Amino acid sequence: MAAAALLDPKSTALVLTDLQLAIISETPLAASETDALRRVNSAVEKCAETLKVARRMEMLVVHVRVAFSAGHPEANPYSPMMQFIREKGLLIDGAQSTSFDPSVRPNPDEIVITKHGVSAFAGTPLDQILRARQVDTVILGGLVTHYAVDGTARDAHDRGYRVVVLRDGCASAAPARHEASLANLAFLGEVLTTDILITRIRGV
């Protein structure tokens, strides 16, 4: 019964991770499948659709971005992923490539958090912000499924939040990684399509 309960907009936050121009363009390049860009763009569209509903319902919206100072001093030096980002000179704070996709650009009154790792909670005030707003449920979408979305979902679970992941509102370059991640996250929360999620928001 609890799993099917309606989501209360007053105690729910929509957390969108890493919907930035550089990540949207780089993610498909990591795959050989020709439809990788289609999957990524579809996920961004679903996030934009969910964002419109969240705004209409006056839900707390948090936009999470990943960015680094010149030289990437905040990046984990032992991480192969961070090494790739450093070598490519990606995600330097202030660069156009770190901007959000226009379809999910934050409104002036919405919260924007900058992170330097995988999870949106690590080294950021996200947990403090959610608790101050008495949020107990987080809806997660963004890029990429098996990194930022997965890492944030696991962190949210361990911090006691109810976790809802948008199945079609996140994507990975390789479909197998996307599906494997969602299969694991289904044991930590709910994995719903955007259409089903919207029907589960109280008052919609």
Q: Is 114 helix (H, G, I), strand (E, B) or coil?
A: strand
What's the pLDDT at 34? 62
What's the pLDDT at 2? 45
Residue 85: inside a domain, yes or no?
Answer: yes
How far apart are alpha carbons 109 and 106 in whole angstroms? Answer: 8
Say if residue 137's pLDDT is above 50: yes
How far apart are alpha carbons 63 and 204 in whole angstroms? Answer: 22
Positions of E strands within the chain: 12-17, 60-66, 111-115, 137-143, 162-171, 190-192
As given in the structure block, the two tokens for residue 87 are: 């070598």
What's the pLDDT at 4? 67
Give residue 20's pLDDT band: very low, low, confident or very high (50, 70, 90).
very high
- The 10s digit of each residue's pLDDT in 68-87 is 999 999 999 999 999 999 99
How far apart are alpha carbons 75 and 4 in whole angstroms? Answer: 39
For residues 108 and 3, which has the higher predicted lDDT (pLDDT)? 108
pTM (predicted TM-score)? 0.94
Residue 99: inside a domain, yes or no?
Answer: yes
What's the pLDDT at 107? 98
Residue 29: inside a domain, yes or no?
Answer: yes
- Domain extent for 52: 2-199
As given in the structure block, the two tokens for residue 7 are: 């989501």
In terms of Cα–Cα distance, which of 17, 37, 5 is closest to 122?
17
In terms of Cα–Cα distance, which of 64, 52, 73 is closest to 23?
64
Residue 204: inside a domain, yes or no?
Answer: no
Contact 27, 143 (CB under 8 A): yes
How far apart are alpha carbons 166 and 178 in whole angstroms? Answer: 12
Count of domains for the chain: 1
- The 10s digit of each residue's pLDDT in 23-47 is 988 765 555 556 788 899 999 999 9
Q: Which amino acid is at 13?
A: A
Say if residue 1's pLDDT is above 80: no
What's the pLDDT at 16? 98
For residues 2 and 60, which has the higher predicted lDDT (pLDDT)? 60
How far apart are alpha carbons 101 and 179 in whole angstroms? Answer: 24
Residue 43: inside a domain, yes or no?
Answer: yes
Residue 47: inside a domain, yes or no?
Answer: yes
The strand pair at 162-171 and 137-143 is best described as parallel
Residue 51: inside a domain, yes or no?
Answer: yes
Segment 165-189 shows an average pLDDT of 96
